[in-house]
Amino acid sequence: MATSPNKPASLPEHVAIIMDGNGRWAKGKGLPRLAGHRQGAKSVRNAIEHARKLGIHFLTLYAFSTENWDRPEREVSGLMKLLEEYLRGETSNLVKNGIRLKVIGDVERLPSGLRNLLLHTIDVTARCTGMTLVLALSYGGRGEIVKAAVNLANRCVAGELTPQDIDEGVFESALFTCDIPDPDLLIRTSNEFRISNFLLWQLAYAELVFTEVCWPDFDASEFDRCLEEFASRERRFGRTSEQCLTKEA
Ligand code: FPP
């Protein structure tokens, strides 16, 4: 779902975060990388809580990319365990706080224990309406776009669609994110200035905010600072400043 222009830019409806810097945070403290991820999981809890309190409707967290499978096996299995622990410990809180869980990515590649926990949490939070938490797991933007193209090609072969039917709306409907709006704000922590194969289609008109804070140190005040930066931006969606000011169609 694309974002419409001229929407007041004060509070983003959808915030996406590339949670980077766990490894460097740990290294700086002489700790193993997994200690950084563990501390990062605490920041995840805090960020969710803060976003919910502020009234942000969608929060998408890049927790594990397709490319992260190439990390050392110890780190990958440690991260999978951490995600399992997180779901075991937090599912009841998600329900209590009205937070619906959604997962985007190649879930089939995840260990079956984690997959089952995810399915359980998705199921028990399905009717929650306070905020949607989207976890990007085994996710890659290019892979998502290719998957959508294959899906549409198959539908054309099956006679359900013709190539002429395919426009941006139809294409979006084949993405993992078909039922959620595009992010208004992308935050990346740890002084890195890349998109890293995250939501390549959906970030077309997102405001990008980069902070030097490593993810394990990302707290409510840093979140607020990023939101203030977002609020100071003029979102023109290709129009002129004057058009936006007069809300001209
Ligand atoms: C990037 O930092 C972070 C990751 C690849 C994993 C993110 C995982 C968490 C924040 C914890 C678990 C998540 C949830 C949802 C409970 P990096 O390791 O690339 O840091 P570096 O660039 O400093 O090495």
Decide whether any atom of ligand 1 lies within 6 Å of the 40 Cβ: yes
pLDDT at 244 over 90: no
pLDDT at 227 over 80: yes
What angle separates helix 73-96 from helix 112-124, to the nearest 10 degrees? 20
DSSP character string of 8-25: --SS-SEEEEE---HHHH
> Element (H or E) spanning 102, and its range?
strand 99-104
pLDDT at 5 over 80: no
pLDDT at 243: 86
User: C-alpha dihedral over 15, 139, 35, 84, to 10 degrees?
Assistant: 100
| Best of 76, 215, 219 for a ligand 1 pocket test (most atoms within 8 Å of beta carbon) | 215
Domain range list for the chain: 14-248
Query: Which ligand 1 atom sits nearest the alpha carbon of residue 63?
Result: 7
Å from CA of 200 to ligand 1 middle: 19
Å from CA of 50 to ligand 1 middle: 19
For domain 14-248, the CATH superfamily is Decaprenyl diphosphate synthase-like (3.40.1180.10)
List, for residues 197-217, the tens digit of each pLDDT value: 999 999 999 999 999 999 999
Å from CA of 21 to ligand 1 middle: 7
Cα–Cα distance, 223 to 220 (Å, whole number): 5
pLDDT at 41 over 70: yes
* Whole-structure pTM value: 0.94
Quick check: is 20 catalytic? yes
Å from CA of 192 to ligand 1 middle: 13
Decide whether any atom of ligand 1 lies within 6 Å of the 90 Cβ: no
pLDDT at 248: 55
Please, what is the average pLDDT of the chain? 95
8-state DSSP, 117: H
Query: Mean of the pLDDT values across residues 164-180?
Result: 98
Numbers of helices and strands, H then E, in the chain: 8, 6
List, for residues 91-105, the tens digit of each pLDDT value: 999 999 999 999 999
Q: Whose CA is nearest to atom 12 of ligand 1?
A: 41
Quick check: is 68 catalytic? yes
Cα–Cα distance, 154 to 56 (Å, whole number): 36
pLDDT at 8: 42
